[in-house]
Amino acid sequence: MSVALGTTRPLPVRTTPVSDPGDLLAALPRTAPYAWVRHGEGLVGWGEAARVTVPPGPDRFAWARGWLATVLGDAHAAGPLNGPGPVAFGTFTFDEDSPGSTLVVPQTVLTRRDGRAWLTTVGEPQQLHAFDPPRPPGRIRYGDGSLTAPEWEHIVARAARRIRDGELEKVVLARDLLATAEYPVDVRLLLARLAHRYPECYTFSVAGLVGATPELLVRRTGKQIESLVLAGTTPRGTGAADDIARGAALFASEKDRHEHECAIASVRQTLAPLCAELHTPAEPELLVLPNVQHLASHVSGRLADGASVLDVVAAMHPTAAVGGTPTDTAIKVIRELEGMDRAGYAGPVGWIDAHGDGEWGIALRSGIVDGRRARLFAGGGIMGDSDPGSELAEAQAKFRVMQYALEG
């Protein structure tokens, strides 16, 4: 296995069954934690056995797969054969032309799955440091990101006009919000709060990108794949009756149903060439989260040729749910109107193992943490009849996920 400094000397990999660790996130040290956790199960990691910045461009996923084949393929495993083995955590920028896509093979990975747990170490065992409890970030101040709220409403109106003019069917526009804390932001505290408040979501941390996404881009287990498509959103109600009414209105909304069908059609078109079998539901269902409700559809299939999870990610990204329809036109409009680089927001984030299995989500409800500062992201699908004020309110509701993580 190659290490960060570029040597190709194979490194030893050891996987050992361990007793149930309980809260995975509580095991993380302060420095550069990696995480992918849902309902208390998943993976956490720390340290770096290998790390690479993936060159931008249309071939970045193929380049990443080649790097991973070299790195993970050289692993010299010891211990039980049925353990999870080494993995790479990854984050890819939304725009293929943007730099910053990163893959990391942690030195230590703790996995919890189906009531069992394993500890995987890569390279020579590292000295364990004393655990220091997370420190709250203190007072949080917010400021405008790339655009003010009125400026963002203006670009929503421009996008809706271009859709009505027939240039495209849908475009997803994002905005950012800057947060400055009194003390350095401890990613572990954000992860713990997100996992507790949003257990249905995938809580993640990779190379400074932190969040809790409800959207599973793809899970690969052998030849079986699964995906969860979300498109169409409404805020939660002020009470039970209002909540039910909002959900019913979302389900009946022509605008939101059309937006969801665009997303499903995009996934179906992308996955069909890769799959021997593909199943998509005739009707969406409601996914109810603490802050919003989504139209959701579970997609499943069986790969025809055993492509790795990263091959499926390459084929699917960007989906209509985070880009628009048609994709090429939507990306062009995003580049023209948003006035910012999304970095990893709405890009693929997740993990992959040496067998090509893994789980990748879309990095929604997320932020980039750097010392005392965090850049938060939110967005929504714009259709021809979208109201700028309503779209701003939807984005504000989505910001509240990371604001809760920062403020508690």
Q: How do residues 12-52 score in pLDDT, each as one tens digit?
A: 888 899 999 889 998 898 888 999 999 999 999 999 999 99
Q: Give the pLDDT score at 8.
A: 46
Q: Give the pLDDT score at 2.
A: 39
How many whole angstroms separate alpha carbon 88 and alpha carbon 18?
Answer: 21
Q: Give the pLDDT score at 32.
A: 81
Neighbours of 6 (CB within 10 A): 8
Residue numbers annotated as active site: 170, 215
Predicted model pTM:
0.92
Q: Give the pLDDT score at 73.
A: 78
Contact 108, 124 (CB under 8 A): no
Phi, psi of 326 (to 5 degrees): -70, 155
Q: Give the pLDDT score at 366.
A: 98
Q: Give the pLDDT score at 365.
A: 94
- Look at phi and psi of residue 339 and say left if phi exceeds 0, alpha if psi is from -120 to 50, else beta: left
Which residue ranges of the chain lie beneath pLDDT 70? 1-11, 74-83, 125-131
* DSSP sequence for 230-297: EEEEEE--SSHHHHHHHHHHHHH-HHHHHHHHHHHHHHHHHHGGGEEEEE--SS-EEEE-SSEEEEEE
Which one-letter amino acid corresponds to residue 227?
S
Sorted by where each starts, the structural domains of the chain and their CATH numbers stand as 12-123+138-407 (3.60.120.10)
